[in-house]
């Protein structure tokens, strides 16, 4: 076997050394660093929202439909003008289901006919009953007279016969008094029954009248000039033809006043503690990227609500926009940057310098093969406050070093699980 020339061996070794050095240089170039320093952090909450008017004319169900005597609780929206339609006062906006109300009218008319027939039958029955009772009373009166005569005729009879005649007379008188009282009671009872049925007839007539008023008001018109904006239901979906409206949520649409605008936003439960009434807001519009508006928070809800499709709670906040522009339209998507304050003279580092494993957060420092546990504070979209674990001047990795998974943790007691 021939030996390789010395210069070949030296060349191979040189290539290996150059490869190793080049790899280290590339690795050094890939690692990004940041020198921690004291500074300030502006706390911001960035959230998307929706442009709306601060004041609107609400278009709701007809007032007649909210009448408690009428049993129309839900009604279908059969037609509505396209959202964004500009209407004048008196123009058609929406139509509600006429057939549902007509069914109620027909049912009420049938009920009225039944009540009228029942009333006539009651009057007839009462008349017959009164005739029979009066006849019985007349018979009882005549019986009293007969027994009175019988008593007078026994004046010369024995005491026993006289006593029996007197007993028969007293019995006839009691029977007459009872029948007379019964006649009064039956008259009072008949009057109450007839009066009750007359009231039922009148109620049925009023119900038909109310339903006919509702029927004639099912075509809803604009109360004033403006742009039609659909209202949202409880599930966040907008009303449309085929949707059901009820008396507990009677809104159908609104006519916004575009001279005063707001941005309605929903802040998640993590950030809501930072948002306070009066904080300044920078509002931009997705559809108009060159436009920005100043504003301020005028309302913060105390109650969270579920966001459809997301497993989080959010709190409604209202941002009042300063100024208006003709290009702004209702329901445009807004981007809202809420300034929640500034924390000064703190150790600041980029969010990228912070790493996490289970319940601990840590950083990597240049020149030390350890994970340094830190206590983070406030943060914004770019930087975070480091309360402990880092001092000014520490050089921090912005990317995870190679083979760092096995590095020991500094500042963390693995037995007690405490820093």
Q: What DSSP letter does each residue of 331-367 carry, written as one string?
A: T-EEEEEEEEEEEEEEEEEEGGG-EEETTEEEE-BTT
Domain 45-52+257-343 is found in CATH 2.40.30.170: yes
Rg (CA), the chain: 46
User: Residue-wise over 239-267: b if at least 16 C-beta within 10 A, else e?
Assistant: beeebebebeebbbbbbbebeebbbbbbb
Please say if the pLDDT value at position 4 is more than 70.
Answer: no
Please say if the pLDDT value at position 23 is more than 50.
Answer: no
Predicted pLDDT of residue 6: 57
What architecture does CATH give domain 102-215? Orthogonal Bundle (1.10)
C-alpha span between 141 and 148 (Å, rounded): 11
**Count of other CB atoms within 10 angstroms of residue 351:** 13
Predicted pLDDT of residue 24: 46
- Residue spans of the domains in the chain: they are 45-52+257-343, 59-64+71-95+224-246, 102-215
Query: What is the DSSP code (8-state) at residue 234?
Result: T
Instruction: Dump pLDDT digits (tens) for 350-371.
Output: 999 999 887 889 999 999 999 9
Instruction: Dump pLDDT digits (tens) for 196-242.
Output: 888 989 988 988 888 888 888 889 999 988 888 888 777 777 888 88
Instruction: Dump pLDDT digits (tens) for 318-338.
Output: 999 998 888 888 888 999 999
Q: How far is CA 102 from CA 76, 99, 353, 406, in A?
A: 13, 5, 70, 78
C-alpha span between 384 and 375 (Å, rounded): 10
Please say if the pLDDT value at position 109 is more than 80.
Answer: yes
Q: Which two tokens stand for residue 65?
A: 């439909």
* Two domains, one topology: 45-52+257-343 and 102-215: no
Averaged pLDDT score across all residues of the chain: 84
């Amino acid at each position: 076997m021939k030996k390789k020339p010395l210069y070949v061996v030296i060349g191979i070794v040189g290539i290996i050394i150059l490869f190793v050095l080049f790899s280290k240089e590339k690795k050094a170039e890939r690692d990004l660093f940041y020198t921690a320093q004291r500074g300030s952090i502006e706390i911001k909450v960035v959230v998307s929202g929706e442009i709306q008017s601060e004041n609107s004319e609400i278009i709701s169900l007809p007032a007649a439909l909210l009448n408690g005597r009428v049993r129309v609780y839900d009604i279908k929206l059969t037609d509505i003008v396209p959202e964004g339609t500009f209407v004048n006062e008196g123009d058609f906006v929406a139509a509600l289901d006429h057939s549902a109300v007509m069914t109620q009218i027909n049912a009420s008319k049938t009920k009225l006919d039944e009540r009228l027939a029942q009333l006539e039958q009651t009057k007839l029955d009462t008349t017959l009953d009164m005739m029979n009772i009066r006849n019985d009373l007349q018979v009882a009166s005549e019986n009293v007279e007969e027994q009175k005569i019988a008593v007078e005729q026994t004046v010369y009879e024995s005491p026993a016969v006289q006593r029996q005649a007197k007993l028969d007379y007293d019995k006839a008188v009691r029977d007459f008094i009872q029948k007379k009282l019964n006649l009064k009671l039956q008259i009072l009872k008949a009057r109450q029954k007839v009066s009750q049925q007359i009231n039922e007839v009148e109620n049925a007539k009023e119900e038909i009248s109310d339903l006919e008023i509702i029927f004639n008001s099912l075509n809803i018109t604009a109360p004033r000039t403006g742009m039609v904006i659909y209202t949202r239901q409880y599930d966040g979906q907008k009303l449309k033809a085929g949707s059901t409206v009820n008396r507990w949520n009677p809104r159908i649409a609104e006519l916004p006043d575009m001279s005063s605008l707001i941005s309605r936003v929903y802040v998640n439960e993590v950030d809501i503690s930072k948002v306070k009434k009066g904080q300044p807001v920078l509002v931009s519009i997705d559809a108009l990227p060159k436009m920005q508006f100043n504003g301020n928070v005028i309302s913060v809800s105390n109650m969270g609500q579920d966001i459809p499709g997301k497993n989080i709670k959010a709190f409604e906040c209202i941002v009042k926009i300063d100024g208006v522009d003709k290009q702004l339209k209702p329901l445009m998507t807004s981007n809202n940057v809420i300034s929640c304050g500034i924390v000064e003279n703190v150790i600041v580092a980029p969010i990228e310098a912070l790493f996490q494993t289970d319940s601990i957060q840590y950083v990597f420092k240049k020149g030390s093969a350890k994970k340094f546990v830190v206590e983070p504070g406030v943060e914004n979209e770019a930087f975070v406050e480091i309360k402990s674990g880092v001092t000014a001047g520490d050089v921090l990795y912005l990317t995870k070093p190679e083979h760092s998974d096995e590095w020991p943790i500094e500042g963390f007691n693995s037995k007690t699980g405490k820093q």
